[in-house]
């Protein structure tokens, strides 16, 4: 009498004949069917519960080494050999007994080999990532130049919306940050320079550091944390919802629809935000100079005109477009990489912020060295 078996088991069947169970095998025992065969073997092993059985394998249609290995594994504990057809028996005899099979032992590599392997893997990943970023920058540049030849392809409503979100909505926090930052610089500078009787140069320190470095740099860092993360999260969620794939299906370029408006908005607004930060910073510096040094606002403005060159302001504005492109491209690139789950959105959003801030600081350092070498 046949024991209960599910209908989807097509490769073996257990029957009870007299006082012994018989396992009938059928079908093609090949590598294509290895997974379902192994599942059925596990089910049959649990059902037999180590009872002895005969294996009848003359109904097997095809047999390769994968199927023969499973057959050897099945009959390892049996004393009788399975009955196979004459055409298939040589395949079974080709393999050694399963009892002679020992799985390979995983060997830990030597410490210095593991270290070099780790360094090589990280270097390879970094090179791949760098290549992907440059490729993405190239695609954005090509699309931008193509749209310059056909200006009606620029999506003005989308650009205006991102100008409002990345620029106008950020004005209050940028202004407040500029005031507080220069108040701290002025206060600390006055305390340190007063020891040498040079507190009059506090204004020079505040103004020059603000216009050349701190104004646009702090603005770029704030924008990277605020807008760059928003770009990565928005595009990442669109990727999860297959909206980016839908754009491609409709014949629309995601670079033109999603990336260019965001990058252009940052290109337009980051210099403006930097100017706002400079203006607010000068106000904070004048206020703290009045409180800490007793310098009136009129004297502060006079000293500002005497010590400040137009190039101090120009240096900051020259760097602003580069910061804007870096923040926009990295944020959109990380958003395009999102796939799989919400965890990917969070991870790549964090990556976009960290990478944007790091790249902004590196670019600022390069410009600082360059301007110092050319005497600006």
CATH class for the domain made up of 12-100: alpha beta
Looking at residue 46, its pLDDT comes to: 76
Q: How is the chain split among helix, strand and coil, in percent rounded to 5?
A: 75, 10, 20
pLDDT value of position 101: 54
Q: What residues contact residue 353 under an 8 Å CB cut-off, 6+ apart?
A: 224, 225, 228, 229, 232
DSSP per position, 283-350: HHHHHHIIIII---HHHHHHHHHHH--HHHHHHHHHHHHHHHHHHHHHHHHHHHT--SSHHHHHHHHH
Q: Which residues contact 91 (CB under 8 A, 6 or more apart)?
A: 63, 64, 65, 68
pLDDT given for residue 230 in this prediction: 92
Give the pLDDT of residue 80: 54
Q: In the prediction, which pLDDT does 261 show?
A: 92
pLDDT of residue 53: 75
Residues of the chain under the 70 pLDDT cut: 1-10, 17-19, 49-50, 75-83, 96-106
Task: Provide the residue ranges of all domains of the chain, joining segments of one domain with +.
Answer: 12-100, 140-374
DSSP structural state of residue 155: -
3-state secondary structure string across 54-101: EEEEEEEEEECHHHHHHHHHHCCCCCCCCECCCCCHHHHHHCCCHHHC
pLDDT at 18: 67
């Amino acid at each position: 009498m046949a024991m209960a078996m599910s209908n989807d088991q097509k490769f073996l069947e257990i029957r009870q004949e007299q006082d012994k169970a018989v396992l009938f095998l059928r079908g093609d025992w090949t590598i294509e069917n290895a997974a379902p065969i192994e599942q059925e073997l596990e089910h049959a092993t649990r059902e037999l519960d180590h009872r002895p059985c005969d294996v009848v394998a003359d109904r097997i249609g095809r047999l390769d080494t994968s199927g023969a290995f499973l057959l050897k594994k099945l009959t390892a504990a049996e004393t009788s050999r399975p009955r196979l057809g004459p055409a298939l028996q040589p395949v079974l005899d080709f393999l050694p007994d399963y009892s002679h099979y020992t799985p390979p032992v995983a060997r830990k590599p030597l410490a210095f080999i593991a270290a070099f392997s780790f360094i090589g893997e990280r270097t390879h990943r970094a090179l791949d990532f760098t290549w992907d970023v440059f490729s993405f920058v190239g695609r954005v540049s090509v699309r931008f130049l193509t749209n310059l030849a056909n200006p009606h392809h620029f999506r003005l409503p989308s650009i205006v919306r991102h100008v409002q979100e990345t620029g106008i909505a950020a004005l209050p926090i940028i202004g407040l940050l500029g005031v507080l930052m220069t108040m701290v610089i002025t206060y600390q500078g006055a305390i340190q320079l007063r020891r040498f009787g040079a507190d009059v140069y506090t204004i020079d320190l505040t103004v020059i550091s603000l216009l050349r470095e701190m104004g646009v740099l702090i603005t770029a860092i704030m924008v990277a944390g605020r807008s760059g993360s928003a770009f990565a999260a928005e595009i990442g969620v669109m990727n999860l919802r297959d909206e980016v794939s839908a754009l491609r299906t409709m014949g629309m370029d995601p670079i033109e629809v999603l990336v260019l408006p965001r990058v252009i908005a940052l290109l337009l607004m980051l210099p403006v935000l930097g100017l706002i930060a400079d203006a607010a910073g000068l106000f904070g510096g004048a206020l703290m100079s009045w409180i800490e040094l007793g310098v009136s606002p009129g004297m502060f403005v006079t000293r500002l005109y005497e010590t400040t060159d137009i190039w101090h302001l120009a240096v900051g504005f020259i760097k602003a477009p580069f910061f804007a492109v870096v923040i926009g491209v990295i944020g959109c690139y990380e958003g395009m990489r999102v796939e799989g789950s919400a965890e990917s959105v969070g991870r790549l959003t964090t990556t976009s912020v960290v990478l944007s801030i790091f790249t902004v600081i590196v670019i600022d350092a390069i410009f600082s060295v360059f301007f110092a070498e050319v005497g600006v």
